[in-house]
Amino acid sequence: MAEVDLHKVAFPTLDDAQVATLARFGTRRLLRDGEHLFKAGDREYKFFVVERGAVEIVEHSSGETKRVTLHERHAFGGDVSLVTGRPALISGIARGDTEIFEIARDDIRRIMGERPALGDVLLRGFIARRELLVASDFQGLRVLGANSRDTFRIRDFLAKNQVPFTWIDVNHDPQVGALLQSFGLSEADTPVVVFGSEPLLKNPSTRELAELIGVRRPLTQRVYDLVIVGGGPAGLAAAVYGSSEGLATAVIDAVAPGGQAGTSSKIENYLGFPTGVSGAELATRAILQAQKFGAQFSSPSPVARLTFEKDHAVLWLDDGQQVSTRCVLIATGAEYRKLDVPMREQFEGLGIYYAATPTELQLCRGSEVMVVGGGNSAGQAVMFLSEQTPRVFLLLRGGDLRKSMSSYLADRIEGADNVEVLANAEMTRMLGDQRLEAVEIKDTRSGETRTIRTSAVFTFIGAIPCTNWLPPEIETDSKGFVKTGRLVSSSPYWTAEREPFFLETSRPGIFAAGDVRLGSTKRVASAVGEGAMAVQLAHEYLVLQLTP
């Protein structure tokens, strides 16, 4: 979409009928010149429509105040943070004597549901505004730190949670010393998270960071209809369908919604996206879609265990919080196996990575890199990295590139001038001092070894299901994948007189979908389909529970 068109979508002027509809939900407010409606960082703020006067939207992420836009008569304020419930990134100030009417965020969700045409105008505007803001010189949160494990952890968490930020490397930015000094800090205090002219946190834990950016929100409902554990494609699809169909729905994720798919640089074989879509974009839109219908999200919220009380399941979070629900969808997916190579732990976050996104790319741009794995995730990473780095090595344990990889990716890899496939090979050593500097590769047929200088190894090997929190009542196979349907019909834990539903586990009312399920197809589209199907089966289960 051209920038001029995007600007029109972002900042439309409402007509009289649209304003009249919104006014029925609003409360009028008079503002004096220079009075703030809200400030960046505020957690409780409202949607508004200007009736008279003007409201200037400003941002000061760089420490200087800059105008974003000026809302005049019949313009509306707000962006995606109103839907997601996150703190405001910008500030709103009255210019001249101004009259507005304000609408609470819960009512905005209601309007989107009851007035879809008007809701679409608002939601498209919110999305376009965020895109324009991120594409501008807006710095968001600033992360001041060296290329260290803690700095990477902070940057990785912000990126996975779609929080705009700018990394300032203390070792390469000549002005960072003065910037730290202006905050009364030194390099020893880094990494530091800064917003505008205020230092917010010094080397925060992941949980502290989550509280700051507003992604870890309390789940306040006494009993949910459906709690989804895991926010990958299966979990997000279930969140959209569950909440849109009236189920009280919550999504709990140990790190951030998106799952493995959320770290994919480009998914080209997903229906409806002929030019491809990044995993982050797909996840962001799905999260916004689910929140539009009222689904609640909480992350990072690792689930420690699952217990059962009468007709409810109880999920126990690692901080002791309990969440009760009538149905559970296990959608925790699987994580990549770790390389069994000496010194691997020492270099994690310092040269060993499990995703290939712009966050990791910043750390290795201009140097040769290596990808380990033979599936589609590895292939997508190779093509993404090959466009940004001088050379990419693809390490394959076997000899057939097409055994587990889609043909379109294998064709591109074979045709790329700066990609070298190392077949029938394994990594035997990692070399480096503070960071990874080189790896030793062994040809498993000839026994010959080769040392390759590289600053980054991206690992996409195998899959370990995230099921260590499940109780014995949820049966798994020897590898930990969850059994469902006919596989659990004779389980000693199956207590219902009926046969288990297709995606139902060995405990009635507990379902599994996506990569964590035994026998699932490891594709985004399949996971989305299973997530949608799980909601239908949950409905059937709930109806049976209410039937005498």
Average pLDDT of the segment spanning 269-285: 89
| Domain extent at residue 145 | 141-213
Q: Is residue 246 part of a domain?
A: yes
CATH of residue 75: 2.60.120.10
pLDDT of 522 reads 87
Is residue 231 in a domain? yes
Residue 26 has pLDDT above 90, yes or no: yes
296-305 tens-digit pLDDT: 999 999 999 9
List helix spans (H) across 388-451: 407-415
According to DSSP, residue 206 is labeled H
Same-domain check for residues 192 and 233: no
**Residue 278 shares a structural domain with residue 321:** yes
CA distance 440 to 341: 10
Among 197-201, 265-269, 292-296, 394-398, which stretch is predicted with the lowest mean pLDDT? 197-201
Domain of 349, CATH number, reads 3.50.50.60
- The SS3 of residue 242 is helix
- pLDDT (0 to 100) of residue 459: 95
Same domain, 367 and 399: yes
Q: Which of 208, 217, 210 is nearest to 251 (CA)?
A: 217
Q: Mean pLDDT check: name the lowest of 10-14, 48-52, 198-202, 251-255.
A: 198-202
Residue of 391, 372, 384 whose CA lies nearest to 409 = 384
**Residue of higher predicted confidence among 427 and 187:** 427
**CATH code, domain with 176:** 3.40.30.10
Query: In total, how many domains does the chain have?
Result: 4
pLDDT at 413 over 90: yes
Q: Is residue 204 part of a domain?
A: yes
Confidence of residue 2 (pLDDT cuts 50, 70, 90): very low
Report the relative pairing of strands 352-353 and 334-335 from DSSP bridges: unpaired
Kindly state whether residues 263 and 310 are assigned to the same domain.
yes
pLDDT at 548: 63
| CA dihedral of 279, 258, 538, 291, whole degrees rounded to 10 | -100
Would you say residue 218 lies in a domain?
no
Q: Count the helices and strands in the chain (H runs, E runs).
A: 15, 27
Give the Cα separation of 125 and 91 in Å (integer). 17
| One domain, residues 151 and 130 | no
pLDDT of residue 220: 84
State whether 128 and 29 are in the same domain. yes
Which domain-ending residue is among 459, 492, 519? 459
Please tell me the predicted confidence (pLDDT) of residue 261.
83
pLDDT in tens, 444-468: 999 999 999 999 999 999 889 999 9
Tokens of 207: 């949980």
pLDDT above 80 for 146 = yes
Q: What is the mean pLDDT of the chain?
A: 93
How far is it, in rounded angstroms, from Cα 275 to Cα 378? Answer: 19
Would you call 229 helix, strand, or coil by DSSP? Answer: strand
Given 213, 244, 271, the domain boundary residue is 213
Beta strands at 27-31 and 91-103: parallel, antiparallel or unpaired? antiparallel
Whether 172 and 130 share a structural domain: no
First and final C-alpha spacing in the chain: 55
On the question of pLDDT at 480 being above 80, the answer is yes
Confidence tier at 3 by pLDDT (50, 70, 90): very low
**How far is it, in rounded angstroms, from Cα 415 to Cα 373?**
18
Provide mean pLDDT across the span 251-269: 88
Residues 407 and 521 in one domain: no
pLDDT category at 545 given cuts 50, 70, 90 is confident
| Statement to judge: residues 449 and 468 lie in one domain | no
pLDDT grade, residue 15 (50/70/90)? Answer: very high
* Same-domain check for residues 297 and 361: no
425 and 480 belong to one structural domain: no
Q: Which of 427, 459, 491 is the last residue of a domain?
A: 459
Q: What percent of the chain has pLDDT over 90?
A: 76
Are 421 and 281 contained in the same domain? Answer: no
